[in-house]
A and B are shown apart, each in its own frame.
Chain A
């Protein structure tokens, strides 16, 4: 992955995933769709950046998110009152850390440790042996008395969970915002 856009994406965009997820959970009624929304936002951001990297990645990311939600709302012809309100004010996010700080500091290590702790027992063990003790998959299989295929599966699963917890943060998919309960839906007249 030597593409400049790849590096840019990892450094400038993924660092804001937690804020993005919080935003999506707050502003989108159907939480099952949040993962797909995130994916589509990333696709739009990545494709735009290939043509021209935006000056302010974070504002661009949230502008893209807002546009996407607006598109969806229009398509569904259903609008959530709270959503419209929140879409206008994104300054909630200003307390977020800058990417360099976010990725470099102690906070990041703490997030990693917490993410690891949320893996299932075997999966956690496999990820630890592979990433920290740097043992090859084959050796891990031997040591734990499981097949190499199983180790590979744990690694695939571990990677996905680590990404969700590390980038997405604790609330990703877990807690629902209280305001969701009070959401009202109205039908657009047009």
Chain B
């Protein structure tokens, strides 16, 4: 390893910045791939910088849902709610040192606030006339039948992919983008707009996003959020005092009862969990009952478990969601399960002792 690490880092950073500039071509990509393949030192340097660059996007937390988002002055972060609890000793000391300029800034703020208040009264009178236009609200509602997916383009440029058996309602105004997931599952690709927070209300929770891709699923008694890009804030709507949970890309949050469980998994795996958009399901040790719930969302012919002792069987693998018959056949082959067709339902029960012996 004779190459100077600074030199390598500079080259890696130049590649990243150039790729980020747009107008990236296959030809440039090939050149980058060639450079990366030249030595592991190039590769690790690039990975490290790329990861740091990705991480930096998480600073959006400070802008998430804040209409007046602007760049904070140095050291001003400490006033953000995310820094409410001491982060570490070193930082607390650093904050102390900056206390006096911060106070000066605040007093200037108070003066400004006074002027602003006066202006506000004037604006309020003028604004009353414009109010009717301003208060324009766009509403919409969509319902999908089981087994049918629908992609909805929302008025702000965001896209919502609705899974089967899903109900989504929309209320967009000048100040916010509100959606309500009444049932089912939706994958959102959110258009960037810091002035209007994108909020999905579901099961008594608020899921807030800024320029993000994420998926929300409402189950019978639980809620799941999968984030594949950007950052999402999950907060209880019933208990505003409860701390918000920040979910960066690669997080899966599961809410059952009042409990929020967050897992951090590789991005590829997170995307895999959203296989339903391509018509397949991926299970990793998933309880049978949960797997069946997934199939039922996509098929008119419902699978029903007659014997509750089967609920806990664990299922793994890739399955086509539109082929529940194949899934049932496989379940019969590997588990002590027998399936029976009753009208438009497939009933699963435990194979009888006599049959098991056969």
Contacts and interface: CB of A to CB of B under 8 A. Distances in A.
A170 interface: yes
A132 B16 contact: no
Contacts of B16: 155-156, 159
B20 A137 contact: yes
B44 A43 contact: yes
A6 B77 contact: no
Contacts of A128: 59, 71
Interface string B75-101: 101000011010110110000000000
Given A125-B71, A163-B52, A109 B82 contact: yes
Given A159-B13, A166-B52, A137 B267 contact: no
A109 B40 contact: no
B194 interface: yes
B41 A38 contact: no
Given A116-B59, A134-B211, A137-B22, A104 B264 contact: yes
A14 B22 contact: no
Q: Pick the 9 closest A-B CB pairs, nearest first.
A: A163-B52, A156-B17, A156-B13, A39-B5, A155-B17, A113-B77, A42-B44, A110-B87, A10-B51
A170 B268 contact: no
B56 A127 contact: yes
Nearest to B247: A104
Contacts of B18: 152
Interface of B: 1, 4-6, 8-10, 13-14, 16-18, 20-22, 39-41, 43-45, 47-53, 55-63, 69, 71, 74-75, 77, 82-83, 85, 87-88, 90-91, 192, 194, 211, 246, 248, 251, 262, 264, 266-268
A107 B88 contact: yes
A71 B13 CA distance: 30
B97 to A, nearest CB: 13
Contact of B59 (A14, A42, A113): A113
Interface in A109-123: 109-110, 112-114, 116-117
Contacts of A160: 9-10, 13, 49
Contacts of B17: 152-153, 155-156, 159
Nearest to B72: A113
Nearest to B40: A43
Contacts of B192: 134
Given A152-B17, A160-B49, A106 B87 contact: yes
Contact of B44 (A11, A46, A114): A46
A166 B55 CA distance: 9
B21 A137 contact: yes
A62 interface: no
Nearest to A34: B5
Contacts of A157: 13
B58 A108 contact: yes
Interface string A1-41: 11000110111001000000000000000000001101110
Interface string A136-158: 11100000000010011101110
B4 to A, nearest CB: 7
A103 B54 CA distance: 12
Given A40-B41, A43-B1, A43-B40, 7 more contacts: A7-B268, A10-B47, A10-B51, A39-B8, A137-B20, A138-B21, A162-B56
